[in-house]
Homo-oligomer: A and B are copies of this chain.
Amino acid sequence: MLIARVVGSAVSTIKEPELHGLKLLVVREATPTDELVGTPFVAVDGVGAGEGELVLVATGSAARQTARTRDGAVDALIMAILDSLEVEGATTFRKS
């Protein structure tokens, strides 16, 4: 899973029925020290994540393996809100 930060949200009226009722958040990949990298993309929220939180995003077909998303048209799913990250013996992130 990618480490990512929730940076915003997306609104769409005209969409495939498979997206109805799903919360669409804008996320951006982050390093364990919370530098943002790469181009932001849109993930479905599975865990009630809020803007600013550091999360884990499953991509590809794994994003369709939860009760909520099984057989849905989902290619990126927020699977977890991170409490903390430890890298090389140091705590690089702790949720405030």
Chain A interface residues toward B at CB < 8 A:
1-3, 7-19, 24, 26, 29, 31-32, 37-43, 46-48, 51, 56, 58-68, 71-77, 79-89, 92
Chain A's interface: helix, strand, loop or mixed, by majority?
Answer: mixed
Asked if residues A17 and B82 are in contact (CB atoms below 8 Å), the reply is no
Chain B residues within an 8 Å CB radius of A17 = 66-67
Asked if residues A13 and B83 are in contact (CB atoms below 8 Å), the reply is yes
Among B7, B32, B60, contact of A87 (Cβ-Cβ < 8 Å): B7
Chain B residues within an 8 Å CB radius of A66 = 16-18, 73
Docked Cα-Cα span, A38 to B68, in Å, equals 31
Asked if residues A12 and B81 are in contact (CB atoms below 8 Å), the reply is yes
